Amino acid sequence: MAALALWHLAEAWFGARASSREAKKRVWHVVKALGKAVVYAALAVTSLRFAAGAGSDSGEQTSSMTAGLMGSAGGRAAVVAVGLVVVVIGFAHVYIGASRRFEDQLRVPRGKEVARAIVVTGVLGYIAKGIALVGVGLLFGWAGLGADPEKATGLDGALKTMADLPAGSVVLAIIGAGLVLFGLYSVLRSRYAPM
């Protein structure tokens, strides 16, 4: 995750300098890359703290953060807004996967087996990641609307909640396989993404 944060920082810097796009599109590219860098850096720090034994799972961390927001003016609205943003990002992932828009960001040689592998892992991986993110966003929104910080969880908490649903273990297995495919897609993408 730290490496991805550095990758997106470099993409923001070098991508903006080398881009021949109009200024508005360059700015949007930099904002997206910096946003991803911040998210991956935060995930890296949280994971390293947890691995070093200095924390709890993401559900406990999210609940304590949400509890702090609930106590401040406008905190509940902020929690609901975060939930909505995560849901939108989740649906965007599903759309990107289903429409194969991720192919626009790759330079894959046509007709090769690797091209088919990238498309299959990309489609299924983006859709599964999107479904998982929608679950996280819904739990955040639920916590904000119900004023219960214990309902807000991270990705692991959302997946645990999905497992408790009828046929949840099947859904969880499908999402897990999709997330593994997204990881494989990310490895394959690293070879064909322009930098």
What's the pLDDT at 146?
A: 65
pLDDT for res 46: 66
Whether residue 43 contacts residue 1, with contact meaning beta carbons closer than 8 Å, is answered with yes
pLDDT digits (tens, 9 = 90+) for 116-134: 888 888 898 889 888 877 8
Give 96-111 pLDDT, tens digit per residue: 999 988 887 777 767 6
Q: Is residue 10 predicted with pLDDT exceeding 80?
A: yes
Query: In whole angstroms, what is the distance from residue 155 CA to residue 137 CA?
Result: 9
Kindly tell me if the per-residue pLDDT of 136 is higher than 70: yes
Model-wide pTM > 0.75: no
For 142-188, write each residue's pLDDT tens digit.
766 765 555 555 555 666 766 777 877 887 787 778 878 888 888 87
Amino acid (one-letter) located at 100:
R
DSSP string for residues in 121-175: HHHHHHHHHHHHHHHHHHHHHHHHHHT-GGG---HHHHHHHHHTSTTHHHHHHHH
Tokens, residue 160: 């645990």
